[in-house]
Structure 1
Amino acid sequence: MHASPNPIEKSFELAASRCTDLTPLVYQRLFKEHPETQAMFRSQGSGLVMGSMLALTIEAILDFAGQRRGHFRLITCEIASHDGYGTPRELFIAFFAVIRDTLRDLLGDEWSTEIAQAWDTLLVDIDALTGATG
């Protein structure tokens, strides 16, 4: 594994060295901070849906924070899809913060100022992309 100069990518690389599957950690946090989201997932097969949703979200985050080759457009596509499900935009955006907070807790002392600032900027940029506020 190479060390990435991109702080967002670096945060995921460091997390991968500590945890083989972020899915349970991310969704435990999501359900704790936003209990209303638990009802949005059916009981049968939801683990696969959650894992797939997280994987696609991470791919979009990495592209959005990096070279923007097109995968990040999934974010705007999914905002429309989630609108159709009745998911509030603020809740959709909260998922990105939940991922950040999960990584921050997992990284502990390796969560640097540079990584924190990159994530803060990323969340503001995603908010602007989706039109969640303003």
Structure 2
Amino acid sequence: MTASSNPIERSFALAAERCEDLTPLVYRRLFESHPEARTMFRTEGSELVKGSMLALAVDAILDFAGERSGHFRLIASEVSSHDGFGTPRELFVAFFGIIAQTLRDVVGADWSDEIDAAWQKSLGEIESLVAAQ
């Protein structure tokens, strides 16, 4: 496998080598940091919803941090959708930071300053995009 020159892609690749499914780790961290988010998920069938939401978020993040060919637009459209569900925008934005924090834990010592800087830049841009909606 050739390492990507994109630090965010590289962080996901490193995590994939170490963890088969990030979903339970991301949502455990989300619910610990934001207990109010737990009530936003129904008890039955929520595992599929969580996995799907995370997969869409990852696709959007990778596109946002890369070519910006279109998937990143999902972030802007989901802001409106989540507004309809009553999700505070701060929580919506926090989800992306939760993903980064989870990756950092999984990647461990291989989480470089370059990866961290790329994530911080991207998270700031995502926050600005959400605020502009």
Superposed pair shares fold, TM > 0.5:
yes
Amino acid at match of 1:102: T
Partner of 2:80: 80
The one-letter amino acid of 2:22's match is L
The residue correspondences of 1:15-54 to structure 2 (distance < 5 A) are: 15-54=15-54
Q: What stretches of structure 2 of length at least 5 have no aligned partner?
A: none
SS in 1 for 2:5: coil
Shift of 1:5: 0.3
SS at match of 1:131: helix
> Can you list the C-alpha shifts for 1:24-66, whole angstroms capped at 9, x where unaligned?
0000000000000000000000000000000000000000000
In the alignment, is residue 131 of structure 1 matched against residue 112 of structure 2?
A: no
Deviation of the 1:123 alpha carbon:
0.5
The root-mean-square deviation of aligned C-alpha atoms, in Å, is 0.8
Residue 11 of structure 1 corresponds to which residue in structure 2?
A: 11
Which residue in the other structure is 1:90 paired with? Answer: 90
Cα distance in 1, alignment partners of residues 130 and 54 from structure 2? 18
Q: CA deviation at 1:2?
A: 2.3
Q: Which residue of 2 aligns with 1:103?
A: 103
- Scaled by the length of structure 2, the TM-score of the pair is 0.98
Q: 1:69-96: per-residue Cα shift (whole Å, max 9, x none)?
A: 0000000000000000111100000000
- d(CA) in 1 for partners of 2:105 and 2:81? 30
Q: How many residues align?
A: 132
Structure 2 partner of 1:56: 56
* Residue type of the alignment partner of 2:36: E
Name the SS of the counterpart of 1:67 in structure 2.
Answer: coil
1:88-133 residue CA offsets vs partner (Å, 9 max, x unmatched): 100000000000000001111001000000000000000111117x
Q: Which residue of 2 aligns with 1:69?
A: 69
Identity of aligned residues (%): 64
TM-score (norm 1): 0.97
**What corresponds to 1:115 in structure 2?**
115
Q: Which runs of 5+ in 1 are unaligned?
A: none
